[in-house]
């Protein structure tokens, strides 16, 4: 009975005609503190006071209570959905709980375009259409709304006139929102493969809500000037993190370099180092080959970390002379992978240097 009522309401809403006072408003939410909100959020708000319609649509919604949530998230099979709330609920949530700024841009559309967007959104809300495969760079809360606007108001976006949204790769745009000296940032970059280094077009860069807002503002006759709905208070700069990868990995490299130079690096330390790095290497390899995350494929970090060093370390660290040819080949692969990763995101060099130092030292130990 409840399902039937839900379908009836959706059907009525989809066929409803907006009044002449209806507005379609692009709402951009500022980045939040948590990783899942670090890149901002995009909402498309349909407001029609005459017909009592106040519907704020969001893509990229997920449910922590989904069965096997973490496994599905890891595999890239977690279902994401479109959701709808009142704008007052969205405003209260972002203002009171998350304290994230919000700006609104009223879209200059005719009645046919407004109604077409409403019907498309309501069609997406149907149970058979609600879920979709989320792709961070290609299919997220911002790209879905970009495509919705482009479909129903073709030609409004003048992508060639947005030079500020060109020239950066998907990875570069992502890192703009992350602190360089952060373990999370380092981990995310280690997991990304060659596809993330593709230079994004102005349209493709709109996977980020701020970029979509900027493109909408510059589009000819598409939107009024942005209006602030809520200005969040600027947070104080946390300062340099002495527990971040810059310091920890830098010190680790110095210690390993010094002990290797003095030939005082114990066998147990080699096993520990290559076991930890090896488990990370296998995880990176797994992400790039066994999941639906295509942006993690063809990852040069696999050359740098080289998975089969674990468990082979148990043998080559005990008798490096016997494994000399293997070690020298892996040294070359490691340095290629380290330089390649460093070009993509330089802090990744800090991961490769300790491994390279040990492999180089072991490969040139004489009888």
Distances (CA, A) of 143 to 66, 210, 297, 354: 24, 12, 22, 40
Does the structure show a pLDDT above 60 at 278?
Answer: yes
φ and ψ at 272, to 5 degrees?
A: -65, -50
- Phi/psi-derived region of residue 54, left when phi > 0, alpha when psi is between -120 and 50, beta in every other case: beta
pTM to 2 decimal places: 0.91
State how far Cα 94 lies from the chain centre: 20
Rounded mean pLDDT of 52-77? Answer: 91
φ and ψ at 219, to 5 degrees?
A: -65, 140
For 343, the 3-state DSSP assignment is helix
Does the structure show a pLDDT above 50 at 367?
Answer: no
Between residues 56 and 238, the one the model is more confident about = 56
- Residue 279: band (very low, low, confident or very high) from pLDDT cuts 50, 70, 90: very high
For 354, the 3-state DSSP assignment is helix
Quick: pLDDT tens for 117-169. 999 999 999 999 999 999 999 999 999 999 999 999 998 998 888 889 999 99
Q: What is the pLDDT of residue 2?
A: 47
Quick: pLDDT tens for 25-35. 999 999 998 88
- Phi/psi-derived region of residue 193, left when phi > 0, alpha when psi is between -120 and 50, beta in every other case: beta
φ and ψ at 208, to 5 degrees?
A: -100, 130
DSSP 96-161: IIS---EEEEEB---HHHHHHHHHHHHHHTSHHHHEEE-BTTTBSHHHHHHHHHHHHSTT---GGG
Does the structure show a pLDDT above 60 at 12?
Answer: no
> What is the per-residue burial (b if ≥16 Cβ within 10 Å, else e) of 136-165?
bbebbbbbbbbebbeebbeebbebeebeeb
For 289, the 3-state DSSP assignment is helix
């Amino acid at each position: 009975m409840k399902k039937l009522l839900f379908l009836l309401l959706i059907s009525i809403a989809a066929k409803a005609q907006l009044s002449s006072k209806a507005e379609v408003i692009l709402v951009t939410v500022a980045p939040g503190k948590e990783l899942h909100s670090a890149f901002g959020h995009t909402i498309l708000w349909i407001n029609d006071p005459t017909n009592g319609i106040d519907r704020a649509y969001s893509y990229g919604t997920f449910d922590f209570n989904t069965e096997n949530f973490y496994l599905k998230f890891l595999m890239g099979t977690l279902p994401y959905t479109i959701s709808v709330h009142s704008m007052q609920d969205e405003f209260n949530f972002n203002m009171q709980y998350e304290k994230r700024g919000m700006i609104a841009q009223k879209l200059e559309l005719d009645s046919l375009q407004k109604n077409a967007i409403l019907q498309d959104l309501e069609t997406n809300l149907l149970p058979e259409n609600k879920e979709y495969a989320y792709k961070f760079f290609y299919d997220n809360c911002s790209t879905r709304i970009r495509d919705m606007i482009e479909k129903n108001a073709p030609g409004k976006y003048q992508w060639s006139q947005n030079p500020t949204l060109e020239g950066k790769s998907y990875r570069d745009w992502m890192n703009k929102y992350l602190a360089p000296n952060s373990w999370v940032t380092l981990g995310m970059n280690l997991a990304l493969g060659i596809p993330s280094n593709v230079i994004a077009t102005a349209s493709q860069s709109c996977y980020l809500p701020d970029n979509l807002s900027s493109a909408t503002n510059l589009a000819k006759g598409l939107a009024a000037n942005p209006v602030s709905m809520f200005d969040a208070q600027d947070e104080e700069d946390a300062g340099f993190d002495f527990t971040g990868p810059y310091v920890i990995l830098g010190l680790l490299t110095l210690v390993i370099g010094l002990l290797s130079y003095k030939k005082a690096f114990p066998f147990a330390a080699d096993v520990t180092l290559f076991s930890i790095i090896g488990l990370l290497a296998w995880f990176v390899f797994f992400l790039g080959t066994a999941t639906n995350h295509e942006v993690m494929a063809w990852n040069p970090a696999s050359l740098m970390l080289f998975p089969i060093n674990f468990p082979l370390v148990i043998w080559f660290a005990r008798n490096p002379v016997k494994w000399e040819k293997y070690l020298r080949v892996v040294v070359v692969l490691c340095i290629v992978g380290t330089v390649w990763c460093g070009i993509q995101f330089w802090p990744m060099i800090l991961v490769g240097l300790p491994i390279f130092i040990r492999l180089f030292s072991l490969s040139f130990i004489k009888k």
